[in-house]
Amino acid sequence: MRLPSVRRLLFERVGRNDEGFTLLEVLVALTILGISLSVLLTIFSQGLERARDNRESMAARVLAQSLLARTNAAADSQPGQMNGQGPEGLSWHVLVTPYGSRGDPADAPFKAATISATVTWQEHGHGRSLTLDTLRLLPADTAH
């Protein structure tokens, strides 16, 4: 009695009425399925990670814009600085500094000031920051 070869078991159908798949076909199909699923899961997890990063960046941008608006709207914006902690681990720093040079006319009724809002946060173990700047006119007696 002769035993069937490995090639025959893997590649050839044993019986004429056999309608099933060979072992090799099943293994190839499972391998393709496994690779496809791993690629899809990788893409999905990267998408979630990017969405979280974008959410943190947007929260920092909104905080910086609100700090600029609040400082710009304050009637007594004096040159100086303020620090604080925001939501979601965001820390912020607002700096109001005189703008221009000493050669500007001393009798001008207004002086310009730079308002700078910086928001910092941690992303994947690395420090990230966002800085927004604007100019504001101040009465001449408060800009120095």
In this predicted model, what pLDDT tens digit does every residue of 23-74 receive, in sequence order?
A: 999 999 999 999 999 999 999 999 999 998 899 999 999 999 999 999 888 7
Is beta strand 126-139 parallel, antiparallel or unpaired with respect to 110-123?
antiparallel
Cα dihedral 22, 27, 32, 38 in deg (nearest 10)? 150
pLDDT for 13 beyond 60: no
Is the Cα dihedral 74, 79, 80, 83 positive or negative?
Answer: positive
- The pLDDT of residue 143 is 46
More reliable by pLDDT, 76 or 104: 76
For the segment 96-106, what is each residue's pLDDT rounded down to a tens digit? 988 876 666 66
Give the rounded percent of residues in the chain with a pLDDT score beyond 70.
Answer: 77
Average pLDDT over residues 83-97: 89
Q: What angle do CA 117, 72, 83 make, to 5 degrees?
A: 35
User: What's the CA dihedral at 40, 44, 46, 48 to 10 degrees?
Assistant: 180
Domain spans in the chain, listed from the N-terminal domain onward: 6-11+19-139
Neighbours of 44 (CB within 10 A): 10
Tell me the average pLDDT of the chain.
Answer: 83
* Greater pLDDT, 83 or 10: 83
> Do residues 60 and 119 make contact, with C-beta atoms less than 8 angstroms apart?
yes
pTM over 0.85: no
Contact between 100 and 79 under an 8 Å Cβ cutoff? The reply is: no
- Alpha carbon distance 133, 57 (integer Å): 17
